[in-house]
Amino acid sequence: MPNKGQKLYDKDKVIAGLVIFVILATFPFWFNLGKAASAPELELTEKAKAAEKCVRDTQYMRDEHMQLLDEWRDTVVRDAKRIYVNERNVGYDMSLSNTCLDCHSNKAEFCDRCHDYTSVNPYCWDCHIDNPKEAK
Amino acid sequence: MMEKSRRRFLKIAGISALGLGAKPVLDVFASSEEDVVVEAPVQEGAPHVTETEAHHAATEPRIMRSPNAKVAPQWAMVIDTRKIQSHSDVEPMIEACHKIHNVPHMPDKKHEIKWIWETEFKHAFPNLASEYMAKRVEHLGLPVLCNHCENPPCVRVCPTKATFKNSQGIVMMDYHRCIGCRFCMAACPYGARSFNFFDPKPHIEEENKKFPTRMRGVVEKCNFCAERLAVGQKPACVEASNGIMAFGNLHDPNSEVREIIHSNYTIRRKQNLGTRPAVYYII
Ligand code: SF4
Ligand code: SF4
Ligand code: SF4
């Protein structure tokens, strides 16, 4: 049946309901308004500072260390090749524990800060020890 | 939510694959054991690489083997049990292996994790043991481990290719992919695989921080010391065996293991099953 010109019953209730719905649905947005967490500051260990250069340049490491680690993992485990030679012709042992975390031995101030900020939870540390240097 | 997503995805994928009918799926997984192609293939005789800056022109990043890596198309082991006098000859091999590989000591025998262990002749070679046999052999503790079979049933049944045969003949485990379905344990006729019912970490006495641990829910076993071969070392158990074990390239007729196999009578575990074990025993 066409509804033309018919009046909206319980107009007040309907509109009030809609307003409440919109407020609830957008609650997370305005609740968090203006209090976005600031980008994390990373700390470098003395060793990392002294090394000056990482396996690849900083921007690449920032953007793509996960792809790099994924490639390392597969090549080490499945292809039995363990040396990565970068564009500067420097070779590295493709090992999270023994290479990456050897310099970046401060997981809490380095890895975790960004991972927490971006809310990613990689499970590398379930098996790969976070700091080989802490061995007694 | 995204936690452990890769394993979870593989778990679901594995279960769905089973639903499609186990037989064809398992066949598909069994074929094409070709190694994954690396993005930047390495030329043979790649330049010697050091940790220091080399004076070479900038190149594309590439992946290679360590120049001193030991390589063979099929690694094999010969265990000369004639040299074993007592338990104290075998103990060091087990110690060496379990220590460097972070193999936990589980308090309950039911949850035991082992990569190499000691067993009697009648358990190692049930089809060869007789009611009456040589006194020396009857109760001798023999070291047993994964045989890195040339025709491995564990590889054929693994739905995720977490277990695979690598280019060196090593039956490897990719713990990142293992979904803990334990098909491989059912398929292995040697009991060479253990399942982590619990988090193994609290039960590792002294962690070797250079080698990863495992997590709850994955299967683990001997890896023929792939990580040591990669840097030119022999397996840890062989080094600790005081000459009881020999290790080498099975496909090279002049290798140490082939020479021993040619000049001695050797047996393999349950070879009537057609798995073609690569661990040989001199009794
Ligand atoms: S001994 Fe068992 S686990 Fe090892 S390769 Fe043979 S079947 Fe697989
Ligand atoms: S439990 Fe065994 S068969 Fe199952 S995914 Fe892991 S390695 Fe493969
Ligand atoms: S070959 Fe290596 S991993 Fe296998 S039992 Fe010997 S020491 Fe352990």
pLDDT in the model for residue B59: 77
Interface contacts (A, B; CB < 8 Å): 111
Contacts A123 to B, Cβ<8 Å: 3-4, 215
Tokens of B164: 């695979």
Q: Convert the pLDDT of each residue in A85-105 to its tens digit.
A: 999 999 999 999 999 999 999
Question: What mean pLDDT is predicted for residues B79-106?
Answer: 97
> What count of other Cβ atoms lies within 10 Å of the Cβ of residue B91?
14
Query: Are A81 and B64 inside 8 Å of each other by CB?
Result: yes
Mean pLDDT over residues A102-122, rounded?
Answer: 92
Q: What is the mean pLDDT of residues B62-91?
A: 96
Answer whether B212 sits within 8 Å of A134, measured CB to CB.
no
Q: What is the pTM of this model?
A: 0.80
Least confidently predicted of A87-91, B11-15, B207-211, B268-272: B11-15
Are the Cβ atoms of B64 and A127 closer than 8 angstroms?
Answer: no
Q: Are strands B279-282 and B75-80 parallel, antiparallel or unpaired?
A: parallel
With residues binned 3-state (H G I as helix, E B as strand, rest as coil), the percentages for chain B, rounded to 5, are: 30, 15, 55
Partner-chain contact A81 B3, CB within 8 Å:
no
The single residue listed with the structure tokens 């509109």 is A15
DSSP-based three-state secondary structure for A38 = coil
The response to whether residue B97 sits with its C-beta less than 6 Å from ligand 3 reads yes
Distance from CA of A89 to the nearest CA of B (A): 6
The stretch B236-249 carries a mean pLDDT of 98
Distance CA B62, CA B129 (A): 52
In a domain, B96, yes or no: yes
- B96 Cβ partners below 8 Å, 6+ apart? B236, B237, B239, B240
Please check the confidence at residue A64 and state whether its pLDDT lies above 90: yes
User: Are A18 and A8 spatial neighbours (Cβ–Cβ below 8 Å)?
Assistant: no
Instruction: Supply the DSSP string of B26-75, one letter for each residue.
Output: HHHHHS--PPPPPSSPPPTTPPP--SSPP-S-----EEE--TT----SSE
What is the per-residue pLDDT for A1?
57
Distance, in Å, from the CA atom of A54 to the CA atom of A72, rounded to the nearest integer, reads 15
Strands B62-64 and B75-80: unpaired
User: Which residue ranges have their beta carbon within 6 Å of ligand 1?
Assistant: B 146-149, 152-154, 171, 188, 190, 192-193, 221, 275
Residue A92 CA to residue B265 CA, distance in Å, equals: 44
Closest Cα to atom 6 of ligand 2: B178
B62, B165, B177: best to mutate for the A interface, most A CBs within 10 A? B62
Residues of A in contact with B66 (CB under 8 A): 82-83
Q: Which domain holds residue B99?
A: 59-282
* B116 within a domain of the structure (yes/no): yes
Over 70: is that where the pLDDT of B149 sits?
yes
* Atom nearest to B245 CA in ligand 3: 6
User: CA A47 to CA A12: how far, in whole Å?
Assistant: 68
Helix axes B22-30, B5-19, angle to 10 degrees: 120
Task: Say if the Cβ atoms of B213 and A77 lie within 8 Å.
Answer: no
The CA distance from A15 to the nearest CA of chain B, in Å, is: 37
The distance of A131 to chain B (nearest Cα, Å) reads 8
The 10s digit of each residue's pLDDT in B8-62 is 777 777 666 555 544 443 443 443 333 333 333 343 334 444 444 444 456 789 9
Backbone angles phi and psi of B280, in degrees to 5: -105, 145
Choice among A27-31, B5-9, B94-98, B199-203 with the minimum mean pLDDT: B5-9
Q: Rounded distance, CA B22 to CA A130, Å? A: 40
Q: Is residue B46 part of a domain?
A: no
Q: CA gyration radius for chain B?
A: 20
| Cα–ligand 3 centroid distance for B235 (angstroms) | 6
Q: Please write the tens of the pLDDT for every residue from B151-160.
A: 999 999 999 9
Alpha-carbon span B244 to A1, nearest angstrom: 94
Dihedrals phi, psi of B108, to nearest 5 degrees: -95, 125
Q: Per-residue pLDDT averaged across A94-122, rounded?
A: 93
Ligand 1 nearest-atom number relative to CA B154: 8
Q: Are B123 and B50 in contact (CB under 8 A)?
A: no
ipTM of the complex: 0.77
B72: CA distance to ligand 3 center in Å? 17
**What residue of B is the nearest CA neighbor of A70?**
B176
Q: Do B209 and A135 touch (CB under 8 A)?
A: yes
Q: How far is the CA of A94 from the centre of ligand 3 (A)?
A: 22
Dihedral of alpha carbons B78, B84, B90, B93, sign: negative
Q: Is B45 left (phi over 0), alpha (psi -120 to 50) or beta?
A: left
Please indicate whether, in this complex, the C-beta atoms of B51 and A126 are within 8 angstroms of each other: no
CATH of residue B117's domain is 3.30.70.20
Q: Residue B115 C-alpha to ligand 3 middle, in angstroms?
A: 7
pLDDT of residue B145 exceeding 60: yes
The mean pLDDT value of chain B amounts to 87
Spell out a b/e string for A48-63, using b for 16 or more CB atoms within 10 Å of the CB, else e: beeeeebbbeeebeee
Given a cut of 90, is residue B146 above it in pLDDT? yes
